[in-house]
Amino acid sequence: MGGNECPGKYFEDWQEGDKYVTTGRTITTTDIEIYTNNMGDYNPLYNDEEFAKKEVYGTRIVPELLIHAISAGQISQTQLFQGTMLGWVKIDIDFFNSVKPGDTIITKGEYIGKRETEKREQGVLDFFVEVMNQRGEIIMKSNQSITALKKNV
Amino acid sequence: MHYKIQGKYFEEWNVGEEFETSRRTITEADAVFFVGLSGDYNPLYTNQEFAKRTAFGTRIPHEFLIYSISSGLMNTTTYFDNTLISQKSHKNVEFVKTVLYEDTIYAKGKVLEKNDMRDPDFGEIVFDVKIINQKGEVCINSKRNYLIKKRKQAS
């Protein structure tokens, strides 16, 4: 077996006050198109510029669940969870402002706490996550729980 | 001939009303696409040698892929056509059972609450939506707060 799995932080490594901030990602109409075409998550607010122009946002907007998916990608790219995150347990998401094509989002996360589970080799980690755009406006807030591998079992 | 809106307006939903979507089989192609689009390269989804050591013993499709597909499946009912303004909140989203490659899923929804919002243009509806696999097992629970157009706003 070759390769280095470059593991991220283990269950024990997260301490009160730990935070992270991701790099930005500019979201484009291409992202909207390939997401809606592959997920079937169509909505004229996402797909029909003529319709969207006349609606409250004034233009096509980025699907809410695409913002969420891209934020998950940004979190993954911090490499803090690589090889140590074993799955999603629970999330709560609220959306506050729309994202328009050409906007750039960043994700900020804060470690909240940890819990044991019945499996000795893993536990649950809780995070509070915010997504904001280039103007500092809050796009999304989320409480997230994941299972994480323990280093010392 | 002009496009005829098929979606249900806020007034047309009743608390307790239920619906089911059509079904979709989750493929490796879907999973690889989603990893690429999201940028979430977690080895659970991308590295078979790593994934062999986890509970499932194999790569799994991204949980959020399943969730986004369920949003697409809800469109197949036509109930949200042109009337869904915003997916404001997704709460208590619990990943209770993993969906694996080649599983077939559908969504089952129920209206829990209607909130007028005192806005002439839209109201809020809270849906309980469960994602269920081909064995009838609930894989994901969720409560979705959608802003739905009111009929009097429609032109």
Smallest Cβ distance to A39: which of B63, B68, B92?
A: B68
CA distance B77 to B13: 14
Contacts of B141 (CB under 8 A, 6+ apart): B92, B93, B94, B96, B128, B130
Taking CB atoms and an 8 Å limit, are B42 and A82 in contact across chains? yes
In a domain, B67, yes or no: yes
pLDDT value, residue A4: 82
- Nearest-Cα distance to chain A for B16, in Å, is 23
Q: How far is A124 from chain B (nearest CA, A)?
A: 13
Residue B113 in this model has a pLDDT that exceeds 90 = yes
For residue A153, the model assigns a pLDDT of 72
pLDDT tops 80 at residue B154: no
Number of compact structural domains in chain B:
1
For residue B28, the enclosing domain spans 15-153
Mutation pick from B86, B126, B146, B149 vs chain A, by most beta carbons of A within 10 Å, is B86
Q: What is the mean pLDDT of residues B90-117?
A: 98
Give residue for tokens 């499946």.
Answer: B73
CATH number (domain holding residue B33): 3.10.129.10
Query: pTM score, two decimals?
Result: 0.96
Tell me which chain A residue has its CA closest to the CA of residue B54. Answer: A86
In whole angstroms, give the CA distance from residue B32 to residue B41. 10
Task: Give me the pLDDT at residue A123, please.
Answer: 97
Q: For residue A137, which phi and psi values (nearest 5 degrees)?
A: -80, 140
Interface contact flag, B40 A65, Cβ < 8 Å: no
Please list the rounded mean pLDDT of every run of 10 residues in chain A (153 residues).
Answer: 84 97 98 97 95 94 98 97 95 98 98 95 97 98 97 82
For residue A76, what are the contacts with CB-CB under 8 A and spacing of at least 6? A82, B38, B39, B40, B41, B42
CA pair distance A13, A6, nearest whole angstrom = 15
Q: What would the mean pLDDT of B11-40 be, rounded to a whole number?
A: 97
Strands B138-149 and B84-95: antiparallel
Tokens of A56: 């409250």
Taking contacts as CB-CB distances below 8 angstroms, the residues of chain A near B44 are: 85-87
Residue B3 is assigned to a structural domain of this protein: no
What structural domains and CATH numbers belong to chain A?
Answer: 11-27+64-149 (3.10.129.10)
Q: pLDDT tens for residues B120-130?
A: 999 999 999 99
Give me the pLDDT at residue B153, please: 52
In a domain, B92, yes or no: yes
Quick check: A65 and B80 CB within 8 A?
A: no
| Complex ipTM | 0.95
Say if B10 falls within a structural domain: no
Helices (H) and strands (E) in chain A, counts: 4, 6
* Placement of tokens 């510029």 in the chain: A49
| Secondary structure in 3-state letters for B110-147 | EEEEEECCCCCCEEEEEEEEEEECCCCCEEEEEEEEEE
Contacts of A104 (CB under 8 A, 6+ apart): A24, A25, A26, A27, A133, A134
pLDDT at B38 over 60: yes
The reported pLDDT for the residue numbered A152 is 81
pLDDT of B43 over the 90 cut: yes
